[in-house]
Structure 1
Amino acid sequence: TFVVKFFQRNGRPYPISSEDNLKVEITQGSYAIPSSTELGGCDPRSANTARVQFTAKRSGSYCISILIGPNPTHIRGSPFTDIYFLPTHPSPQETGFINYCSTVVCTEKTPHALFIKLRDKYGNLCPISQDFDASDDFAVDLVEMSTGKPIHSAFYWDIQPSLSRIALVLRLDNEGLYSAIVSYRGSALKNGEFSIIVLNSTESALVQKHSSKKSQTSGFCAKLMTQNNDRLNKPKRVFCYISPKQLTIKEYILKIIPKRIVTFRLCPSTKFQFSKSDNQSPSDDNNTDLSNQLLIIDDGCQPPVELMSDERNVIAATFTQFLLNNIGGSETFKDKQDFFYSEVRKYHQKSFHEKHQIRIDRQNLLESSIKATKSLTTSDWCKNFELQFIGELGVDWGGLRREWFELLSGALFDPNQSDLFQRFKNDRQGLVQPNPKSQFKLKYYEFAGKIVGKCLYESALGSSYRQLVRARFSRSFLAQLIGLRVHYKYFERDDPDLYVSKIKYIIDNDVEDMELYFSEDEYDMSSGKLIRTIDLIPNGSKVKVTNANKLQYLDALALYRLSTSVREPIEHFLKGLNDLIPDNLLCIFDENELELLMCGSGNYSISEFKANHAVSCGNYEFRKILDWFWTAVSNFTDEEMARLLQFTTGCSQLPPGGFQELNPKFHITSAPTFGVLPTAHTCFNQICLPEYDSYEQFERALRIAITEGGEGFGMI
């Protein structure tokens, strides 16, 4: 907050009012900072004051310009440029490890450094002085998992002011498995929880040797304790083989004939769990030794398996090193996204992004799009599509292409436009997944997959080419795109009505008297007649649901409704998608990250919008229009915000990083007209606002423009 006092030439106070056209502009680099100005006050002694408030979220140099009069003139000293804001105190919600990984592999008695960058609540990097003592503010809770014993004095801090970071240096003397939680002033860091595998020097060299070769497959001996959710009466001798793509468990019949038992994909969704065996008693002398051998593997796609192995830590460490190599060395979404884009560019490095003209009939959008692209090779799909809508004069400088992707997303994924996809909940907020009763041929799903792949490829080329998919995909559909197992918990988000009316009721109540069986009845929607009964498991119509197996029944129901019934559409969708994007790259994300990658942000922050836009024309009249614009936008629903984005940028979804990743920035400029509808140039993310007599006229014109003027191109 700062106060400006106004005086006449003779030194007497000058009572400031709205008629004086006071204007305060605050900028930080290219960013315009929103502010509020309060003139005068109840006390006559403050009649000559203006109180200005703003929030400086970014550290750095600021410029404040204060202008007054009908022809705005700077007051004495304006613009004020010698203003610098420092970061505030570090925030544990923003401070975290660089290149974070949930599992850290170390060698005993060897220092291992993990780097932390301190950031304030707005994400600004906090400077570090040479005399900074991290032990005063940071705490590390280190526990040996097998015994639960806390470990002290196994780490120290190294301050690196020149790199604006501090290093947590681990030095553990004994091999084993540890858990760590790092906190700042009593609050855990945003990624401050992780596991630590400590190997001896021989094991460490072995893991390094295994993971350094791309084609290397490593084998380890183990005992299989469970299979298909059943505990084996006698542990089975098996071998674990780890390659850069998968972990396979095999047994050998007659010691020479290999038989595969289960395969886990080498991706972040495959989780390792370490816990004590159920059949061990506390009095067992070998309790600690056995707990050091136990390894549970679960990928979310198939029943988890439980293993016992003397090489448990080496297995987990080898898997972790392969995984880090596959995802670029970090588990944060931003790092994985950057790695994904880099790998996509490498995968298509022999394809040239030259222009390829496509003519589309707007009145027959889907069919003409399929016809225009049916003969294209994978290399052709990597070209820069230059769109021309038949019968329209628009020239494609990027805006037509973005509009085509936007309209095509609606034609493919909006159930109101086609029945390729369906909603379980019949409203605009319902999530969509493939429709098992669609009238369209399977080739349409393959085309839909190619369009999503094309959007991801274009996004990998840089922000100026970024394309987003306008769709709200169900979580179960996204999970299947990355190979995850579907289970009943997906109903809660995908089909909330069914979850509340049936799934949750079965979970919370006794089912013994419900006469439920492992089958699903299918009815005709128009007549209500029973068409057929589908067994969810072999002979399911004869297997009664009990309290003991009701969760298995719900999983089987989810598998049928969300997966089995739409298997062919999903397979063809993946065929088209994987033509452009390899499945091993998609698998580095979970289903929520995949939606963010493909569809961008669906939540709109007005404060973020105000902090990430550009304005042209600074006269007083336009300032009034700009104030009206922000007033209108602040009252928009999410749908209206999406329409505003579609009208101005050609796409209703934001990039993963929100408004700050729009390129060019959202640009607001004045139009040399009066009383007509606003116009837009989607190639430049620019909206042009005319002048109006009143706010009511402005708001009505803006709503009409974004609602009815969001499609079609005439002249540039």
Structure 2
Amino acid sequence: MFYVIGGITVSIIAFVFTIKFLCELAARVVSFLQNEDPGRRGDRSIYDYVRGNYLDPRSCKVSWDWKEPQEVGQTMTFRVQLFYKNGQPFPAHRPVGLRVNITHIELALDIPVTQEVLQEPESNVVKVAFTVRKAGRYEVAVKLGGLNVAYSPYYKIFQPGMTHLIVQFSKSGLLETIFLYIYAYHFSTLVLTNGQQHTLQIEPRDEYGNPTSNSTSLTDEANYSLGTVDDETLEDCYSKSVSLNKPQCQVLLRLTLKKTGCFKARISYKDQPLSNGEFDIIVLSENEKTCVEKNVSTPGISIYFEAYLYSSGNYSSSSWQLPASSLLAPQRRPSMGDEEDEHDSPVEGQPEKVKKPKKVYCYISPKQLSVKEFYLKIIPWRLFTFRVCPGTKFTYHGPDPVHKYLTLVVDDGIQPPVELSCKDRNIMAATFIRFLHKNIGMYFNP
């Protein structure tokens, strides 16, 4: 009886293994018929599939040459080990159709990679290298012949690197911060009102622009300062307070300017200028602020300012240009004198007479800044037109030698720069900037 039961058990086990072998054989034959490239069937046969003598993506392995977490900016490598279906190493020097796709999940950003076959004899390892610049979560998909290797795709996280400080001009709110940061990057003029508080947001970021929360500047409030680009202090002209917004990894620098004029400002941390920390500040009085708001709120009417146009290139090469220390100092609107007398009178200390500037009118609308000249006082002639957009840049200089009006250079990078001196230069520039804010959908109250 014992021998009968043992024989039946052995027969059942043999039958099960036979069925399993036949199913595996059938699966390999079907895989060969469905997936094998017809152009390569001359190199492989059904017998190779029966023996498992073919590259199988599910049998391949991936090993990583780093431990998480890692910082951005470094060259990272991992290795793909190739195997036959039967578990034997597959020579990596043979064409295998290896494809590696690395993508930033949030930004949908593809990362370029390089592949290298290790030179050891009979090596079955392919080394893959890549470098990421943006922090976040990445998807690493490794495919052979269009099929994922075992456990692919993989997910890896990279952290921000060393910290740099970025300044953002903002009142409050995340959406407004984004718009103001774009504005500050392209058109770096900040318009404030004398005696009113304004907030600058300072964000620690690495060299690739990734926000980081591990910076010591988030806990150091006493080392932020405001000065000019020629290292002159403005401590007598402003008051400040610093607070921290740790959940959003921001330092809030609240400034109150006490003096009207135009400044070339620089924000520093531990006496080192911040990235994007140099910008122009126009401080308006209450009357000037009211004038700007009136100009912007007048619908359907272009605002104009009387100005004087200097010939192209005259401002940068003429002998009457003020030194840098004078241009960067706080500037106030000068008192008015007799214009006709000033046209012909020489400037003290000037070796030769400056060419008489041309009287023009600057019209500002929500869409453009136009410089016009009038013939016979009734026939308008448009000389220059600049769009109200971040690409139109202003450069602020000191008084001109003839009328003693503050000078403004307008440049859009397409046509030659235009040099204008205007009695109400700061109001004209603030009106242009206010229209610019409205065009990009941002609320701003100078």
TM-score by length of 2: 0.49
* Structure with more of its chain in helix, by fraction: 1
Higher strand share: 2
Q: Give TM-score, length-normalised by structure 1.
A: 0.33
Q: Which has the higher contact order (CA 8 A, sep 6+)?
A: 2
